[in-house]
């Protein structure tokens, strides 16, 4: 029995090492996928037109609704996702920016869009995780907490109340108070 254990020991050690390598490679692949999608956005609700006009449609939407100026060279790629549907429902548009800065500008102003929804492009794993967190997100919001999803994590900030705004106001510094008092004494 001991001889068998001695023969199996190198195989067990090699197996453990391979498992660690596979785990590290999976993490690296996930990081690469995230990096690839980092400058991407997906836009829903844009009617389908001619294929060559995707860029012009997107640039026009950004210009009119978001007041953001874009040049064609600032957009890396634009294409519709999926196959054309006979239902007439427009397919989402994936667009990738050359810089992440422009993507963030769009995300800041996306609430100004009418009949169009913009979201970040996540990996399948992250989308599945976000889907499982939706019920918990809704529950936290019903409790009155400030809650939102950031990437694949649920962030809960606590109760929402109006007195919180008072706590957030900055106190006048002591040196500023003394200057104000000295100014009043001179009058």
Q: How far apart are CA 26 and CA 28, in angstroms?
A: 5
Report the pLDDT value the prediction gives residue 69, as an integer from 0 to 100.
84
In this predicted structure, what is the pLDDT of residue 165? 46
Nearest to 160 by CA among 174, 179, 173, 147: 147
C-alpha 177/C-alpha 187 separation (Å) is 16
What is the pLDDT at residue 131?
A: 93
Digit-coded pLDDT (tens) for 133-145: 999 999 999 998 9
Name the nearest CA neighbour of 95 among 130, 63, 62: 62
SS3 15: helix
Confidence (pLDDT) at 40: 94
Q: What is the pLDDT of residue 24?
A: 97
CB 151 within 8 A of CB 132: no
Q: What is the pLDDT of residue 163?
A: 45
Whether 145 and 157 have beta carbons less than 8 Å apart is answered as yes
- What's the chain's length in residues? 187
Which parts of the chain have pLDDT scores under 70?
50-52, 159-187
pLDDT for res 121: 92
Q: Give the pLDDT score at 182.
A: 60
The CATH 3.30.70.1820 portion of the chain extends over 37-121
What predicted TM-score, i.e. pTM, was given to this entire model?
0.68
The C-alpha atoms of residue 134 and residue 164 are separated, in whole angstroms, by: 26
Distance CA(186)–CA(177), nearest Å, equals: 15
Q: Are 113 and 65 in contact (CB under 8 A)?
A: yes
Does the structural domain 37-121 have CATH classification 3.40.50.300? Answer: no
- Residues near 13 by beta carbon (within 8 Å), at least 6 away in sequence: none
């Amino acid at each position: 029995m001991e001889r068998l254990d001695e023969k199996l020991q190198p195989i067990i050690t090699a197996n453990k090492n391979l498992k660690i390598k596979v785990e590290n490679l999976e993490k690296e692949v996930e990081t690469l996928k995230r990096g690839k999608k980092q400058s991407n956005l997906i836009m829903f609700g844009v009617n389908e037109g001619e294929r060559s006009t995707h860029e012009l449609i997107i640039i026009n939407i950004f210009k009119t609704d978001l007041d953001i100026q874009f040049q064609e060279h600032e957009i890396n790629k634009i294409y519709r996702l999926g196959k054309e549907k006979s239902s007439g429902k427009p397919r989402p548009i994936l667009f990738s920016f050359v810089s992440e800065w422009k993507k963030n500008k769009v995300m800041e102003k996306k609430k100004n869009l009418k009949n169009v929804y913009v979201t970040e492009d996540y990996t399948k794993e992250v989308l599945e995780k976000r889907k499982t967190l939706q019920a918990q997100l809704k529950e936290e919001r019903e409790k009155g907490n400030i809650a939102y999803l950031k990437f694949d994590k649920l962030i809960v900030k606590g109760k929402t109340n109006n007195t919180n705004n008072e706590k957030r106001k900055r106190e006048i510094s002591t040196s500023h108070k003394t200057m104000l008092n000295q100014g009043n004494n001179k009058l």
